[in-house]
Amino acid sequence: MTTHDEKGAAGSAPEVRRDFIRDIIDEDNRTGRWGGRVVTRFPPEPNGYLHIGHAKSICLNFGIAAQYGGRCHLRFDDTNPTKEEQEYVDSILGDVRWLGWDWGKHLYYASDYFQQMYDWAIQLVKSGKAYVCDQTAEEVREFRGTLTQPGRESPWRNRSIEENLDLFIRMKNGEFPDGSRTLRAKIDMAHPNLNMRDPVMYRILHADHHRTGGKWCIYPMYDWAHGLEDSVEQITHSICTLEFENHRPLYDWFLDALGIYHPQQIEFARLNLTYTVMSKRKLLRLVQDKLVGGWDDPRLPTISGMRRRGYSPEAIRYFCQVIGVNKFNSTVDMALLEHCIRETLNKTSPRVMAVLRPLKVVIENYPEGQVEWMDAINNPEDPGAGSRKVPFGRVLYIEREDFMENPPKKFFRLSPGKEVRLRYAYFITCREAIKDAAGHVIELRCTYDPATRGGDAPDGRKVKATLHWVAAEQAIDAEVRLYETLFTRENPDDMPEGQDFTACINPKSLEVLTECKVEPSLKDAAPLTRYQFERMGYFCVDSDSSAVRPVFNRTVTLKDAWAKIQQKGSE
């Protein structure tokens, strides 16, 4: 289900919004709970690329640190060797930096704490709070019980401290095969919270780790590891998503059992977006099965995909500010994200002219070989952006859809006998449409009025349409990629019985136009440069682009679906 409670927020977001987490921090600062310190962290697991959901968490954690004069750690939660890779670490570093945040010297890896974690585990074994269990994963699950039924105690639960110590050390020394034993916390198999029923702390896994190599063959489980990482780093507010709310008692139990520095875990609602998927497992599947072009495919909600698509870091940060932070899971409309992108790009993107589906126009009364360089404004929203010259000549291109041979009543653009304005240039009138053998219009013959140079008629006559255009002689050939949502369903996570989420991939999510003509000022545009193509939307130079073959991605259209939704809501 989509909720629109964010309605009205866009466009009026204050610099820093209030939220329940900032309220907690204010209160902590008032009571002196942390001695005025504010230390947060962003703890990604390097098992995939970051997505817009992570951006919400990043902006929250780094934003709070910045606002309160504290600090935010970037910590790789690299406790699972089989799924983690250096490639992901590198991409995450790049993405957080690109979003505009700085962790300073506070870059950490959970794997650097493996020895400390192990020592703490020994401490729990020695105090009788952890035991080595020989149950298989299957048996552990079976004995755990359910929400309505208490669990049963493992037959290994009452081993002596000496035996536990001996077995655990031997587990670490590599004497036992994968899956044969675990170290478990001794809590309560009848606890109403299933997470408290003797959770596994360590498993045996003879696998090389991307940083520690073959040093370890036991690896800590998330719930055991995470609080310890926070404790080592003296985090004050450990902010995570709502799924971890009923893990908090366990987070607290471990830290209290050890008697070590104890941060406060706080949960907030994760971001969900319509028409996309956010689970790393699903994103990985799309990439591995080549259903998209890679992690940075501009249709993905990944940070690298959005960057390539043309979203700016400011726009993503603005979006995160607009959606705010709360305690209830909901799904944000993709239209709101695009609205935020548009608002930001509108202020910062130079306007240029590009014709995506060209139709040739010959101005019959314009002197052959003549070129005039017309003044074109770079950004009406930004007077400081100045102007540039665009060439005008006898042969031009206009957008195919700007001409109709037999127009309906309200079509004010070009048709036989009609006059329109060419932006920054002249009024032209269509005299004739030339067709090929199949009857398709392939060229327009027009005339221009030399008195209308710059776009105004001295006799005051008006035209109802202004078209963009590109002069043929100086035009640059380009490829343009148009994107729609990657999925046709609003919620691809909620498929009909028996259908995989890939069944609703939008076959029209990518359209490649190869015959485009763009104005010469775009000649050496560097990858990732953003523009507004007048009347066509916002576009960004693709990373595949070259001087030989410029490629542009459509970032977002000009039509603001969010404004419409807002309007409807207030009617």
- Catalytic positions are 45, 270, 280
Q: Which is nearer to ligand ATP, 45 or 166 (CB)?
A: 45
Pick what 271 binds: Mg ion, ligand ATP, none; C-beta below 5 to 8 Å, kind-dependent: ligand ATP
Pick what 338 binds: Mg ion, ligand ATP, none; C-beta below 5 to 8 Å, kind-dependent: none
Q: Which is nearer to Mg ion, 43 or 63 (CB)?
A: 43
CB distance 433 to 441 below 8 Å: yes
Q: Which is nearer to ligand ATP, 212 or 241 (CB)?
A: 241
CB distance 398 to 409 below 8 Å: no
Pick what 7 binds: Mg ion, ligand ATP, none; C-beta below 5 to 8 Å, kind-dependent: none
As a dihedral over the C-alpha atoms of residue 220, residue 223, residue 229, residue 235, rounded to 10 degrees, the angle is: 180
Stretch that binds Mg ion, among 39-47, 298-306, 342-350, 533-541 (CB under 5 A): 39-47
Report the alpha-carbon distance of residue 6 to residue 8 in Å, rounded: 6
Pick what 238 binds: ligand ATP, Mg ion, none; C-beta below 5 to 8 Å, kind-dependent: none
Angle, alpha carbons 168-173-176 (nearest 5°): 75
Q: Which is nearer to ligand ATP, 43 or 63 (CB)?
A: 43
User: Closest approach of Cβ 267 to ligand ATP, in Å?
Assistant: 9
Q: Which is nearer to ligand ATP, 56 or 394 (CB)?
A: 56
Stretch that binds Mg ion, among 23-31, 41-49, 425-433, 496-504 (CB under 5 A): 41-49
- On the CB side of 103, how many CA atoms lie within 13 Å of its CA? 24
User: Closest approach of Cβ 87 to ligand ATP, in Å?
Assistant: 14
Q: How far is CA 69 from CA 38, 83, 534, in A?
A: 7, 35, 42
Q: Which is nearer to ligand ATP, 130 or 278 (CB)?
A: 278
Structure tokens at 298: 């501009």
Q: Which is nearer to ligand ATP, 88 or 131 (CB)?
A: 88
* Cβ burial, residue 395 (10 Å; 0-12/13-18/19+): middle
First to last CA, the chain: 22
Stretch that binds Mg ion, among 37-45, 99-107, 184-192, 205-213 (CB under 5 A): 37-45
User: Closest approach of Cβ 496 to ligand ATP, in Å?
Assistant: 23
| Residue in this structure with the two tokens 């406790």, named with its chain if needed | 79
Stretch that binds Mg ion, among 45-53, 63-71, 210-218, 260-268 (CB under 5 A): 45-53
CB distance 302 to 272 below 8 Å: no
User: Closest approach of Cβ 45 to Mg ion, in Å?
Assistant: 5
- The residue of the chain with the least Cβ separation from ligand ATP equals 53
| Residue in this structure with the two tokens 């629109």, named with its chain if needed | 4
Tell me which residue of 41, 411, 51 sits closest to 231, measured CA to CA. Answer: 41
Quote the strand ranges of 26-91, DSSP E: 39-42, 71-76
One DSSP character per residue, 256-311 reads HHHT---PEEEEEPPEEETTS---HHHHHHHHHTTSSSSTT-TTSSBHHHHHHHT-
Report the alpha-carbon distance of residue 34 to residue 40 in Å, rounded: 12
* Site size toward Mg ion, by CB under 5 A: 1
Please report, as a single letter, which amino acid is at residue 156: W
Report the alpha-carbon distance of residue 520 to residue 477 in Å, rounded: 10
Q: Which is nearer to ligand ATP, 270 or 453 (CB)?
A: 270
User: Closest approach of Cβ 281 to Mg ion, in Å?
Assistant: 11
User: Closest approach of Cβ 280 to ligand ATP, in Å?
Assistant: 4
Beta bridge partners of 131: 184
User: Closest approach of Cβ 564 to ligand ATP, in Å?
Assistant: 26
Pick what 43 binds: ligand ATP, Mg ion, none; C-beta below 5 to 8 Å, kind-dependent: ligand ATP
Where along the sequence are the contacts to ligand ATP (CB under 6 A)? 43-45, 53-54, 56-57, 77, 240-241, 270-271, 278-280
Pick what 53 binds: ligand ATP, Mg ion, none; C-beta below 5 to 8 Å, kind-dependent: ligand ATP
Tell me which residue of 155, 121, 123 sits closest to 136, measured CA to CA. Answer: 155
Pick what 278 binds: ligand ATP, Mg ion, none; C-beta below 5 to 8 Å, kind-dependent: ligand ATP
CB distance 516 to 492 below 8 Å: no
CB distance 219 to 203 below 8 Å: yes
What binding mask, one character per residue, do residues 393-432 give for Mg ion by CB under 5 A, x or -? Answer: ----------------------------------------
What binding mask, one character per residue, do residues 100-129 give for Mg ion by CB under 5 A, x or -? Answer: ------------------------------
Q: Which is nearer to ligand ATP, 272 or 506 (CB)?
A: 272
CA 497 to chain centre: 28
CB distance 401 to 358 below 8 Å: no
Report the alpha-carbon distance of residue 112 to residue 315 in Å, rounded: 35
User: Closest approach of Cβ 223 to ligand ATP, in Å?
Assistant: 13
User: Closest approach of Cβ 72 to Mg ion, in Å?
Assistant: 18
Q: How many CB atoms lie within 10 A of CB 278?
A: 19
- The residue of the chain with the least Cβ separation from Mg ion equals 45
Report the alpha-carbon distance of residue 414 to residue 90 in Å, rounded: 52
Structure tokens at 180: 């044969």
Tell me which residue of 100, 109, 112 sits closest to 58, measured CA to CA. Answer: 100
Pick what 6 binds: ligand ATP, Mg ion, none; C-beta below 5 to 8 Å, kind-dependent: none
Quote the strand ranges of 51-113, DSSP E: 71-76, 107-109
Q: Which is nearer to Mg ion, 247 or 423 (CB)?
A: 247
User: Closest approach of Cβ 47 to ligand ATP, in Å?
Assistant: 7
Pick what 54 binds: Mg ion, ligand ATP, none; C-beta below 5 to 8 Å, kind-dependent: ligand ATP
Pick what 57 binds: ligand ATP, Mg ion, none; C-beta below 5 to 8 Å, kind-dependent: ligand ATP
User: Which residues would be at the binding site for Mg ion (CB under 5 A)?
Assistant: 45
